[in-house]
Amino acid sequence: MSVAVKDPYQGYRGPCREVMERFGITVWCEVRAKTTQGLFEGLLLPRSETSDELHLVLKLGVGYNIGIRHDTVLELEKIGYREARYQIPEREFPTDPAHPNVKLLGTGGTIASRLDYRTGAVIPAFSPGELYGSVPELAEICNLETEKLFGVFSENMSPEHYLILAEKTGEAIREGYDGVVIGHGTDTMHHTAAALSFMVQNPPVPIIMVGSQRSSDRPSSDAAQNLINATWAAARGPIAEVLVCMFGPTSDLYNLLHRGTRVRKMHSSVRSTFRTLGDIPVAMVEKGKVTPIKDDWRPRRDDREVTVQAAFEEKVTIAYYYPGMQPDVIDAMVEKGYKGIIIAGTGLGHVNRLIYPALARANAAGVHLYMTLQTLWGFVQMQVYETGREILELGVVPLANMLPEVAYIKLGWALGVHPDDPEAVRTLMTTSMAGEMTEREPHDGYLILQGGIPEVQAFLEKVWR
């Protein structure tokens, strides 16, 4: 949200602006509007840039906002002026030498925020003082330091941000923090989690990514619980990996710690959107307790050794296969200089014969070709059917149960680290580094309960979901 206050016509264009100029009215004026619909009194608010240019917005004394169309206005009279002052309450974050130290890195997603009650603008709360003002529980967990790295929405996170984030994470670890929390928008959180999993190797302390599905300006937000649990996992948790800490069920009960290479956002809006695919989550966390539910995690260490390999080749893409796909799609990628293509194939890792020649041409041009699955669950198995074997011969390398987005991130990273060494890239890609490929899928690694079935119904009646 824009917080630039100086424009007296904030957001008003065209006819509304004319009306305002005609009557000498600016935003934050208290006005009496005589209109063809009757008399209205209120505070003239800025207008959102994305709304139409036909309506003036008034905030009434009773708290409601209303819109008045410009051509109904007969007269605007200024009866006062009250400008909003944006301020975030800050209380000094208390420090306690007995508490672990945590570094919170901000990328721009709002985990804690305050709302401007008049405009609805969400103002991120980020400094320790601001965070303490809105989630005071944090002070009972750790001493908190924050650093805002960028101010971008999740969807605008890009490889250049991954590099900075990886370096800053490494720095924080070397500086002696007992854990790192990364605040992130949820849409691409799993991409960033994968990037950090590859770039920050063998960390001695937890690196916990956290966000919120419901903005923190609402009383039902998941933000505070997420932040409290993430901070706990970072400050005091035993697992030194890159983990995503988000709601387990939609109920306010516990968070799950998902491995950064196996996690995926699976629903556009529910709180319990993050799921570990093809495996079970690493741990559950409630305030005051991290309970591992897997046993192959890397424990916290006292040393400060960490390897940061921050590199990324941006000319990498995902080709999401569909039955009518034409070969020129692949050709175009090659022509445009893409160095690697992750195919999200059907079934066990298949594409239509029609595009074989294009794949062969890409392979001949030295483009790295890898196969993953759009089924998300399960393994690429290209030896089972004739089709699969043919595709293998075209130089497409299967990536077991690596998720397509993770494969994309890993290939970008591997090509960034070894720009001129295809063999090294291939070795990296086919070797699991951070759990991105597993040797086995447990029986409950794929568990989407089907609603409506009596036994599922019976289960749902017993639990808070």
Partner 1 sequence: MAQNTEPSENRGVRPPPDVNPRTDPALDFPDKPLQDMTPGDYQVLGYMSGLEVHQQLDTPSKLFCRCPAGCRVRKVDAEVLRHMRPTLSELGEYDRTALMEFKTKKEIVYLLERGTVCTYEMDDTPPFGMDEVAVRIALEMAEMCNLNLVSELHVMRKQYLDGSIPTGFQRTAMVGLAGSVPFRVPELGVDRELRIRQLSLEEDSCREVSDVGHRITFRTDRLGTPLTEVVTEPELLSPHELQAGACLLAQVSRATGKVRRGPGAARQDVNVSVAGGRRVEIKGVHHHRRLPILVHTEAFRQLNLLRIRAELERRGVQRESLSIPEGGLPWEVTPLVLDVSSLVRHSNFQPARQAVHRGETACAVRLPGFGGLLTHPTQPGVTFAREIADRIRVIACPVHHPFMTHSDLGAESLSSQHWNQLARSLGAHSGDAIVVMWAPREDAATAAREVLIRAEDALVGIPAETRQAFPDGTTGFERILPGPDRMYPDTDTPPLPIPDRMVSEVRARLPEAPWVREARYRRIGLDARAARVLAVAVWADLFDEIVPAEGESARRLAGVLEKRIPFHSRRMRGAKPRLAEELPPATRLAPAVRALEAGEILPEALTRLVDELLENLDRPVEEVLGRYRRRPGDEERLRAALKAAELRAPLVLDGRSPDVKLRWAMGQVAPSFLGKVAPLEAEARLIAALGVGLEASKEVLPVGDSGGSETRAGEVSAEPAREKETLP
1-4: Cβ within 8 A, 24+ apart: 1/116, 1/119, 1/121, 1/122, 1/123, 2/49, 3/86, 3/121, 3/123
Q: Alpha-carbon distance 398 to 166, whole Å? A: 28
Q: What is the DSSP string of 94-151?
A: P--TTSPEEEEEE-S--SSEEE-TTT--EEE--SHHHHHHH-GGGGGT-EEEEEE---
Q: What is the CA radius of gyration of the chain?
A: 26
Q: Alpha-carbon distance 301 to 238, whole Å? A: 9
Query: Should residue 118 be labelled a site residue for partner 1 when binding is judged by CB under 8 A?
Result: yes
Least distance CB 433 / partner 1 (angstroms): 34
Q: Which is nearer to partner 1, 253 or 397 (CB)?
A: 253
| Residues facing residue 459 across a β-bridge | none
Least distance CB 455 / partner 1 (angstroms): 13
**Active-site residue flag, 7:** no
Q: Alpha-carbon distance 21 to 15, whole Å? A: 10
Q: Which of residues 167-226 bind partner 1 (CB under 8 A)?
A: 213-221, 224
Q: Which member of 168, 265, 339, 410 is catalytic? A: 265
**Active-site residue flag, 307:** no
Stretch that binds partner 1, among 233-241, 297-305, 357-365, 451-459 (CB under 8 A): 451-459
Least distance CB 49 / partner 1 (angstroms): 12
Query: Should residue 117 be labelled a site residue for partner 1 when binding is judged by CB under 8 A?
Result: yes
**Active-site residue flag, 187:** yes
**Active-site residue flag, 107:** no
Q: Alpha-carbon distance 263 to 274, whole Å? A: 6
Query: Should residue 65 be labelled a site residue for partner 1 when binding is judged by CB under 8 A?
Result: yes
Query: Should residue 5 be labelled a site residue for partner 1 when binding is judged by CB under 8 A?
Result: no
From candidates 25, 68, 282, 283, binder to partner 1 by CB under 8 A: 68
Query: Should residue 13 be labelled a site residue for partner 1 when binding is judged by CB under 8 A?
Result: no
Q: Which member of 110, 231, 273, 387 is catalytic? A: 110
Least distance CB 79 / partner 1 (angstroms): 6
List CB contacts of 6: < 8 A, sequence separation 6 or more.
none
Q: Cα torsion at 156, 162, 168, 174 (round to 10°)?
A: 150
Q: Which is nearer to partner 1, 224 or 359 (CB)?
A: 224
Element (H, E) at 70: none
Least distance CB 122 / partner 1 (angstroms): 7
Q: Alpha-carbon distance 191 to 107, whole Å? A: 13
**Residue ranges in contact with partner 1 by CB under 8 A:** 30, 32, 35, 37-43, 50-52, 54-55, 57, 60-69, 72, 79-80, 84, 87-89, 114-120, 122, 133-134, 213-221, 224, 250-253, 268-271, 451-452, 457, 460-461, 463-465
